[in-house]
Amino acid sequence: MQINIQELSKIYPNGKKALDNVNLEIGTGMFGLLGPNGAGKSSLMRILVTLMKPSMGSVSIDSFDLEKNRKEIRSMLGYLPQDFRFFSKLKTWEFLDYAASLSGIKNKSTRKDKVDEWLDKVGLFDVRERDANKLSGGMKRRLGIAQTLIGDPKIIVVDEPTTGLDPEERIRFRNILSDNGQVAFKGTPEALIEKARGHVWQVNTSGYEYDLIKDKYPVVSTIPTQEGWEVQLIGDGSKFTNAIELEPNLEHAYVYFMEMSSALI
């Protein structure tokens, strides 16, 4: 499976440019989009799943063109949006049955078996008769996962925020998008981490100097100590007498690349 994105741009009616000349090739495997709010991640995903048309550029999935073969592409996709909603009057099994029908499973007997299978897989079989809108937040998310996967899609697109993910979870991402809808970096997490080597420091400080650090340097974390603060920052450690260079992790690399790359690379 190969997705080719060429010179893709999206400009909204208010003039905001969500995507700016994006060029990417996405092959088989897991591909992650990491970036702050407003970077264009959701816009790109909505274009890929045919819910939004680009302003310029083209997208092809294998031999199918996004503009000319929308029906064929939709049959390949499973999509879980960040803001997952469903018809409030449907029971849990009815919603999943509806999702299965949309995915192309037309035989009622086959569809019933699939619905029961996925309700069991996501731990919702015992609440299959409950109104979907009365499920707990976690149950609703599990129902969303089931509707994404029930049609055995070749491509799964999941739109979820990266805020709050720890470094072990972030390591799953394989490519990075930056602000303003442009590709800032494409490569492995290891390659991104290497970019930050030599720019990650730990400084023990207090009071006035701490305020200067916050104003001048991107701060990754602060831990209170008896003397003041233990600060992990991105910058030039030679400016501090007590600075300790740290082995960068993916979180350090993300902060470095998003906020300091233009000045340091």
Residue 147: exposure state from Cβ atoms within 10 A (0-12, 13-18, ≥19): buried
**3-state DSSP assignment of residue 206:** coil
pLDDT for position 227:
77
pLDDT for position 113:
93
pLDDT for position 58:
92
Q: Which two structure tokens, joined as six digits, stand for 6?
A: 């060429």
Residues of the chain with pLDDT under 50: 161-178, 180, 261-265
Q: Give dist(CA 159, CA 141) in Å, integer.
A: 12
Q: Give dist(CA 81, CA 101) in Å, integer.
A: 19
pLDDT for position 237:
66
pLDDT for position 6:
92
Residues in the chain, overall count: 265
Q: Give dist(CA 148, CA 45) in Å, integer.
A: 14
Q: Select from 104, 8, 9, 20 the least CA-distant residue to 60.
A: 8
Could you identify the residue written with the tokens 């993910």? 165
